[in-house]
Amino acid sequence: MTARPLEKYMKADAIRALKSGTLVLELGAFSTRVKLSDRRSVAFFLDMYADCLVTLGDCALSDFSLTVRPPNQFRKYFRHQVVPDPGFGFPAAPLPVSMSPLALEMGLNLSVALQCFRYAIFHAGVVAEGDQALIIAAKSGGGKSTLTAALMEEGWRLLSDEFAILDLEEASLRGYPRPVSLKNASIDVVRGFAGKDQVSETLHGTPKGSIAYRRPRRGDIERMALPARPRVIVFPAFTEGAAPRCQEIDLADTAMQLIASSPNYQVIGERAFTGLMTMLDGMKAYEIEYGSTEDSLALVSDLWRSHVS
Amino acid sequence: MSAGPNSDDWVWVVDPDHFIIYEIGDTTFVFSRLSGTTHMLNLVSRAMLDFLTGKPKTLGEVVAGFADYLQVPKEECPSGVVRRLFDELDDVGLVERILP
């Protein structure tokens, strides 16, 4: 069965497939069977994943299977709640149905983080110029997603907002261009430069505050199969009012931080170790601190020019 | 790893088949195939690993010979430091006790 962009299907067929669990999302290296039970997550999926390749039907194979469903029958009717169900036991707190897009995105993250063993996964955003990648390593509140979204506006292609997916044979990074998760103040910042149409409705009052998603662009989807060789890694830190600052950090420390951020490094073991060491060979790593998006872009641009261009 | 205090007469060795090594700058990364754990060693710990690789020694011999191996005066490599260094490698399972 050949995958086609979601928007090429009749909307009614896509909705029926999402509700019956017969839609398979083909994104990057993974295929995921998705089943959704409520209107809001269905509308979110149809909008944010419109350019993504999907197949409809029972016979498509998939790597993962994700259901967003009520935690029990009672919660289907009274104070409607949902949980992401990636097919294995996971202690996910039920969310109000109004936050079902968050449950969907959490579920997709869980599927890759805890069920993928072909690739080493590190918690980081990745953007690329051609086949040269920049890793934006996560630190809580550091501004990873805001910087990722800002770099997209500068012409970088999105490989992933959430995971650096390391091909262990080639030491290259694979694309998994899903919506970029924005939190709190960064939502309006990204709406400002990307445009309102590119950002989803805001979900208020989630466990992480307000959340909205910046959609991947068609070009990101079309080029997702092009792997990228990582050249520079940055550890961003947004500090209100801070002057821009950049400091090179030791690759040994970088390795340990990446290992600590990985959900599957210990499981994969030796191949993950060898792949990570090969990936780091020749890379440069920096901590960058900034107080504005403009400053972060200038810092990254300078680093990139000095090492890659 | 020994459960109690090490005896100076026990014989220890490092088996290079049990781990793989990568160097990044002055730091050595060691992946233990036995534990699946990644370790970060400085130059001195790496030297201790090399000192014992494929060459069984008692702890007494390690303490007595490590300074010469590093080519430094004995006072710059006190026995307490050597024993602590050895214990750290023992704790993470990078050195193995063998029968003499």
Residues A206-219 pLDDT 10s:
988 999 999 999 99
Sign of the torsion formed by the C-alpha atoms of A61, A65, A68 and A70: positive
| Helix (H/G/I), strand (E/B), else coil: A268 | helix
Q: Is A252 on the interface with B (CB under 8 A)?
A: yes
Mutate to test the interface with A, among B18, B19, B38 (most CBs of A within 10 A): B38
Chain B residues with CB under 8 Å of A249 CB are none
Between chains, do A250 and B20 touch, taking CB under 8 Å as contact? no
CA distance A123 to chain B (A): 18
Whether residue A131 has pLDDT greater than 70 = yes
Between chains, do B40 and A252 touch, taking CB under 8 Å as contact? yes
Between chains, do A270 and B38 touch, taking CB under 8 Å as contact? no
Nearest to B40 among A256, A266, A274 (CB): A256
Cβ-Cβ pairs closer than 8 A, A with B, add up to 36
- Residue B1 within a domain: no
Lowest mean pLDDT among A5-9, A78-82, A258-262: A78-82
Domain-wise residue ranges, chain A:
4-115, 119-307
In this structure, the number of other CB atoms found within 10 A of the CB of residue A138 comes to 22
Distance CA A76, CA A99 (A): 14
Q: What percent of chain A has pLDDT over 70?
A: 97
- Residue B45 within a domain: yes
At residue A127, the pLDDT reads 98
- Residue B68 within a domain: yes
At residue A141, the pLDDT reads 66
| Chain A residue whose CA is closest to B35 | A269
**Per-residue pLDDT tens digits for B11-26:** 899 999 999 999 998 8
Whether residue B100 has pLDDT greater than 90 = no
At residue B98, the pLDDT reads 86
In A22-149, DSSP assigns E strands to 23-27, 30-36, 53-56, 64-69, 81-85, 95-96, 119-129, 132-137
Chain B residues with CB under 8 Å of A255 CB are 24, 29, 40
Q: For every residue of chain B, which 3-state class applies, written as one string?
A: CCCCCCCCCCEEEECHHHEEEEEECCEEEEEECCCCCEEEECHHHHHHHHHHECCCEEHHHHHHHHHHHHCCCHHHCCHHHHHHHHHHHHHCCCCEEECC
Between chains, do B29 and A251 touch, taking CB under 8 Å as contact? no
Confidence of residue B5 (pLDDT cuts 50, 70, 90): low
CA distance A268 to chain B (A): 9
Between chains, do A255 and B24 touch, taking CB under 8 Å as contact? yes
Chain A residues with CB under 8 Å of B42 CB are none
Chain A residues with CB under 8 Å of B31 CB are 269-270, 273-274
Q: Is A283 on the interface with B (CB under 8 A)?
A: no
Distance CA A278, CA A257 (A): 16
Nearest to B25 among A252, A256, A269 (CB): A252
At residue B3, the pLDDT reads 58
| Chain A residue whose CA is closest to B42 | A252
The β-bridge relationship of strands A81-85 and A53-56 is unpaired
CA distance B97 to chain A (A): 24
Among A119, A108, A111, A90, smallest CA distance to A264 is for A119
CA distance A233 to chain B (A): 16
Residue pair A127/A224 in contact by the 8 Å Cβ criterion? no
Whether residue A140 has pLDDT greater than 70 = no
Q: For every residue of A86-109, which 3-state class applies, written as one string?
A: CCCCCCCCCEEHHHHHHHHHHHHH
Distance CA A49, CA B9 (A): 67
Among A122, A107, A112, A126, smallest CA distance to A265 is for A122
CA distance A156 to chain B (A): 29
Distance CA B46, CA B44 (A): 5
For the question of an ipTM over 0.95, the answer is no
Residue pair A290/A296 in contact by the 8 Å Cβ criterion? yes
Between chains, do A250 and B27 touch, taking CB under 8 Å as contact? yes
Between chains, do A280 and B24 touch, taking CB under 8 Å as contact? yes
Lowest mean pLDDT among A101-115, A137-151, A166-180, B22-36: A137-151
- Residue B6 within a domain: no
Question: Residue B20's domain spans which residues?
Answer: 11-95
